[in-house]
Amino acid sequence: MESFYYFFIAIVCDDELIERRMRVGRGVTDENWVKSSLEFNRWLKENADKTESKMTLLDNSTLTPEEAAVIIDQWILNNIKGTE
Q: What is the signed CA dihedral for 49, 4, 69, 35, rounded to 10 degrees?
A: -50
What's residue 32's pLDDT? 98
Q: What is the signed CA dihedral for 46, 48, 51, 55, rounded to 10 degrees?
A: 170
pLDDT tens string 15-36? 999 999 999 999 999 999 999 9
Give the span between the Cα atoms of 1 and 61, in whole angstroms.
42
* DSSP strands (E only) in the chain: 8-12, 55-59
Per-residue confidence in pLDDT tens, the chain, 84 aa: 777 788 999 999 999 999 999 999 999 999 999 999 999 999 999 999 998 888 999 999 999 999 999 999 999 999 888 665
